[in-house]
């Protein structure tokens, strides 16, 4: 990724991701919470469920992780594995690239679309089992 492209992606990451995933607020989740400690990350959470969307600058991709915590240790899995474990689609259908601002926008929209489909499954009674299955195939 070139320096200009990287700067453009980095500059628009938070706004792009927050715009695409704002529907999670309507689902009762707190956020968005921005973090830059390890890598640029936007998080949405409620007590037993959450999503972390990070910009992996080394790989040039967006990584979305869903997690559940039902009293035990938190269980987490990446979005591609959640999509596959739920039977919605093969993991390759989830767009990841953030090599350019255009790719970032496309991938953020793709991932938001998949989160909309996976979210009801994660909030259901079998949500923790879904995360466990997904973490095994990740």
Instruction: Tell me if the pTM is above 0.85.
Output: yes
Give me the number of domains the chain comprises.
Answer: 1
- The DSSP secondary-structure symbol of 11 reads H
Domain that holds residue 104: 3-137
**Helix, strand, coil abundance in the chain, percent, nearest 5:** 50, 25, 30
Tens-digit pLDDT profile for residues 4-16: 667 888 889 999 9
Tens-digit pLDDT profile for residues 2-58: 556 678 888 899 999 999 999 999 999 999 999 988 899 999 999 899 999 999 988
């Amino acid at each position: 990724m070139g320096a200009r492209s990287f700067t453009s992606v980095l500059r628009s990451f938070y706004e792009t991701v927050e715009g695409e995933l704002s529907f999670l607020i309507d689902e009762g989740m707190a956020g968005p919470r921005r973090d830059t400690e390890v890598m640029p990350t936007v998080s949405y959470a409620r007590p037993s469920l959450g999503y972390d969307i990070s910009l992996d600058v080394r790989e040039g991709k967006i990584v979305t992780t869903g997690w559940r915590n039902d009293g035990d240790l938190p269980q987490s899995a990446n979005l591609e594995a959640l999509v596959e474990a739920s039977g919605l689609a093969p993991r390759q259908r989830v767009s990841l690239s953030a090599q350019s601002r255009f790719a970032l926008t496309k991938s953020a929209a793709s991932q938001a679309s998949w989160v909309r489909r996976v979210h009801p499954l994660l909030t259901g009674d079998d949500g923790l089992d879904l995360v466990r299955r997904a973490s095994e195939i990740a």
